[in-house]
A and B are shown apart, each in its own frame.
Chain A
Amino acid sequence: MTVRVQTDDFDAGAEIARLRAADRAIGAIAAFIGAVRDVNDDATVSKLTLEHYPGMTESALDEIVDAAKARFDIRDVLVVHRVGTLVPGDQIVLVVVTGAHRGMVFDACEYVMDFLKTRAPFWKKEQRPDGERWVEARASDDEAASRW
């Protein structure tokens, strides 16, 4: 299990290749990438700042990954989440789930993202033409997490 919080960009292909090279029992990989959009709620976004809670961020992600591994018959989970200043087009988050078979990897990947969106201590601040604005949490994210 690997959880990383970093400012640097990530290379999903390289991460997947590394996971596969280390475990020949992997028969299935599911991955999710979140990226910065240039428009949110009808306003142009020129910059996105990701704040986090140092000391809690990694442990909160560890707990989510532990829960996914306990619930789903999968082999491993990788989560990489960027922090700092990003611009439209930048990658924000990578979740990779590996398993022997495809049966569980899709659900496990969605589960990790649903709980990352509602429990991991990150906050986004947008730079818009009329000033800065903190992104607000969505009820749909809480609903998505509650269905598990």
Chain B
Amino acid sequence: MRDCVPHAVRLRLVYLARLREAFASGGETLEVNASERPMTVADVVDALRVRGGAFAAELAPGRAVRFAVNHRVARADAAVSDGDEVAIFPPVTGG
């Protein structure tokens, strides 16, 4: 029988623009318990939603939120690994 030892995935979260204000934070270190299947950005969002308050409101299904993993644009189904930087932000408005 396989020895399944659950371990935590440690991520550096970055919140930007309007979401930084809504969360009253520019970012944090988040530890998420790993499961059998690879972790994704969606798993990180789920872990934040359960906090309720602004996290639940701003990250509710259907809200326009964008992500980057290690400075590359990423979708919700993108994989995340221990040590990654995950940024969460509103649709961009540069130019």
Contact = CB atoms under 8 A, between A and B. Distances in A.
Contact of B94 (A55, A59, A120, A125): A120
A46 interface: no
B71 A59 contact: yes
Contact of B17 (A51, A60, A81, A116): A51
A81 B94 contact: yes
Contacts, number: 71
Interface residues of A, number: 27
B94 A117 contact: yes
A52 B17 CA distance: 8
A4 interface: no
B93 A123 contact: yes
Interface in A72-123: 81, 92-93, 113, 116-123
A124 B94 contact: yes
